[in-house]
Amino acid sequence: MARRRSPARLVIALSVAATLAVFLLYTSFAGGATPSLRPSQLADHPGKVSLAGVVLAPVRGDARGNGLRFRLRDIDGKATVNVIYRGSVPDLFEAGRHVYMRGELRNGVFVAERDSLVTKCPSKYVPKES
């Protein structure tokens, strides 16, 4: 005598899978996203943002003490912003490097979150020689 399976198990499993898929799509597109900006765009976006730019000399201060202080310029522009950063500093960090960090603009100075500084590796973006 063969047992007939109930379709309820299949319906429940498909419902759980659909709910998880919707959750994953929401979190990847909308949930927790911080805008990625250049220094020229900072004034229009209050609150926490990701900032990208080129480090300008001179770089002063100490990342562990009162903070590392430098100016950040738009990658393809002229706008700049003063930055204060505290935390670990990547080995490739120096003037002229492209960097990314999270933080917020306070009284005209971008205050970066601790340990959020990341340098962009220039060798990845240079065309290969033939």
Phi and psi torsions of 92, nearest 5° = -85, 5
Topology at the third CATH level for domain 36-122: OB fold (Dihydrolipoamide Acetyltransferase, E2P) (2.40.50)
Contacts of 37 (CB under 8 A, 6+ apart): 45, 49, 50, 51, 52
pTM for the structure as a whole: 0.68
d(CA 101, CA 33): 14
Which of 117, 110, 118 shows the shortest CA–CA distance to 84? 110
Question: Which helix (H) or strand (E) covers residue 28, if one does?
Answer: helix 7-29
Which of 118, 103, 107 shows the shortest CA–CA distance to 35? 103
Please write the tens of the pLDDT for every residue from 107-124: 999 999 999 999 987 655
- DSSP class of 75: T
Please write the tens of the pLDDT for every residue from 53-109: 999 999 999 888 889 999 999 988 899 999 999 999 998 899 999 999 999 999 999
- The domain segmentation of the chain, as residue ranges, is 36-122
